[in-house]
Amino acid sequence: MPDAPLDAFHAHLALTRLSTPAECARLFRALIEPLGFDTFASGEVDLRDGSRNAFHLIDWPESWRKFYISSRMIERDPIVAELPHRTAPFTWSELRRERKLAQAGTEALDLAAAAGWTEGFVMPIHLGGPRIGLVSLAGHRVVESAAERAYLGLIALCLHVRMRALVRDCGFAMPPGGLTARETDCVHLVARGLTDKAIGQELGLSPMTVHDHVEKAKRRLNLRTRAELAAMAAAIGLGMP
């Protein structure tokens, strides 16, 4: 494999030039396939309130995506359960060897193996407070060398940073709290300090409609005040500018 830090640097430059999640997905897939990984997701979890979990990008086959979301598998996903305890990348093999998996976690990995993914690589990204970002790769090959591990960790971090920057313009693959596109737009503008009237002028909506979107967003995210909503917007990547 070419020098890992140099490859990661070039991957970072390439990602910063892309402007849509689809473009980022194609590039990232091309980067990880030579190392035995063929699907991935980028997102964030909230340790205080699972309703605020979000995905920026989901590159899973549609059948697995539907199963994961509809079955609420995230609530028993062993990867999510490990995030508070990890600061460095880890693999599914390590989770099995360490025998820290609960029964539900073992079953989740068995389901993934039945779908064809026998190994995974996870990059945890601590964002401050209760939010932890992650990029999770799935495939069929064990990561054997330190160079491969460093390379995957670095490009995963680059992907997460880029996807977070695209949220304001492109939205989420799975938004926190199930926010609609219009609610997401309003949350972003609340974070910029705009009034309902000003948001309405920006989006072509009446102040009453904006107020309704803002109130629904607060309920979805279990927040009480507009200030809390603005703070949460910053936490999930919808803040300024």
Range of the domain at 121: 4-170
144, amino acid identity: E
Select from 170, 197, 216 the last residue of a domain. 170
- Rounded CA-CA distance 234/232 in Å is 5
pLDDT for position 6:
56
CATH assignment of the domain containing 205: 1.10.10.10
- Rounded CA-CA distance 58/73 in Å is 15
pLDDT for position 148:
92
- Residue-wise pLDDT tens digits, 84-98: 989 999 999 898 888
CA within 13 Å, CB half, 110? 7
In a domain, 240, yes or no: no
Number of domains present in the structure of the chain:
2
- Of the chain, the percentage scoring pLDDT greater than 90 comes to 67
Q: Global pTM?
A: 0.89
Query: Is 203 found in the same domain as 165?
Result: no
In a domain, 241, yes or no: no
Q: Does the structure show a pLDDT above 60 at 2? A: no
DSSP state of 18: -
Coil/strand/helix, residue 220: helix
Q: Please give the structure tokens belonging to residue 9.
A: 């640097």
pLDDT for position 97:
86
Query: Is 70 found in the same domain as 34?
Result: yes
Q: Does the structure show a pLDDT above 50 at 180? A: yes
Burial of 45 (0-12, 13-18, 19+ CB in 10 A): buried
Query: Is 197 found in the same domain as 124?
Result: no
Query: Is 127 found in the same domain as 43?
Result: yes
Query: Is 163 found in the same domain as 184?
Result: no
Average pLDDT over residues 151-177: 94
- Residue-wise pLDDT tens digits, 43-77: 999 999 988 999 999 999 887 888 777 777 777 78
Burial of 106 (0-12, 13-18, 19+ CB in 10 A): middle
More confidently predicted of 5 and 207: 207
DSSP state of 51: G
pLDDT for position 100:
66
Q: Does the structure show a pLDDT above 90 at 241? A: no
Question: Mean pLDDT: which of 2-16, 26-40, 93-107 is highest?
Answer: 26-40
Select from 149, 170, 191 the last residue of a domain. 170
63, amino acid identity: S
Please give the mean pLDDT across all residues of the chain.
90
Q: Does the structure show a pLDDT above 80 at 82? A: yes
Answer whether 5's CB lies under 8 Å from 154's CB: yes
- Rounded CA-CA distance 55/80 in Å is 13
In a domain, 154, yes or no: yes
- Rounded CA-CA distance 57/159 in Å is 10
Query: Is 138 found in the same domain as 23?
Result: yes
Run of H or E including 15: helix 4-16
Coil/strand/helix, residue 138: strand
Query: Is 47 found in the same domain as 20?
Result: yes
Q: Does the structure show a pLDDT above 60 at 197? A: yes
